[in-house]
Amino acid sequence: MNLRVSGLRFLLIPTIYRWNFTKFRMSSVFRFKQFEVEQSGTAMKINTDGVLLASIATHAKPIRILDIGTGTGVIALMLAQRFAEANVDAVEIDAFSAQTAGLNFSNAPFAERLAIYHSDILNFSPDDRYDLIVSNPPYFVNDLKNELLQKQIARHADEDFFGNLLRKVSSLLTERGLFWVILPVKTADWVIEHSVLHQLYPSRIISVHSDEEKPVIRKILCLQLGFTAVLEEHFYIYAARNTYTTAYKELLKDFFLAF
Cα–Cα dist 248/27, whole Å? 28
Cα–Cα dist 104/88, whole Å? 13
Burial of 98 (0-12, 13-18, 19+ CB in 10 A): buried
Instruction: Judge whether residue 112 has pLDDT over 80.
Output: yes
Instruction: Judge whether residue 37 has pLDDT over 80.
Output: yes
Q: Which residue from 62, 120, 127 is spatially nearest to 92, judged by alpha carbons?
A: 120
Name the strand (E) or helix (H) holding 2: strand 2-5
Instruction: Judge whether residue 40 has pLDDT over 90.
Output: no
Comparing 21-25, 131-135, 182-186, the range with the smallest average pLDDT is 21-25
- Tell me the C-alpha to C-alpha distance, in Å, between residue 153 and each of 96, 146, 251: 12, 9, 29
Predicted pLDDT at 45? 84
In the chain, what's the furthest Cα-to-Cα distance? 53
3 state DSSP class of 98:
helix
- At 93, the pLDDT band (50, 70, 90 cuts) reads very high
Name the strand (E) or helix (H) holding 230: none
Amino acid at 154: A
The pTM of this model reads 0.85
State pLDDT tens for residues 203-229. 999 999 999 999 999 999 999 999 999
Predicted pLDDT at 129? 98
Predicted pLDDT at 5? 34
- At 23, the pLDDT band (50, 70, 90 cuts) reads very low
Please report, to the nearest 10 degrees, the dihedral formed by the alpha carbons of residues 195, 201, 206, 209 taken in order.
Answer: 20
- At 27, the pLDDT band (50, 70, 90 cuts) reads low
Cα–Cα dist 75/255, whole Å? 11
Predicted pLDDT at 28? 86
Burial of 82 (0-12, 13-18, 19+ CB in 10 A): middle
State pLDDT tens for residues 121-156. 999 999 999 999 999 986 544 443 444 444 443 344
| Phi–psi pair at 91, nearest 5 degrees | -115, 135
Compute the half-sphere exposure of residue 97: CA atoms within 13 Å on the CB side of its CA. 25
Q: Which residue from 128, 76, 61 is spatially nearest to 106, judged by alpha carbons?
A: 76
Do 246 and 211 touch, CB atoms closer than 8 A?
Answer: no
- At 1, the pLDDT band (50, 70, 90 cuts) reads very low
Instruction: Judge whether residue 11 has pLDDT over 90.
Output: no
- At 20, the pLDDT band (50, 70, 90 cuts) reads very low
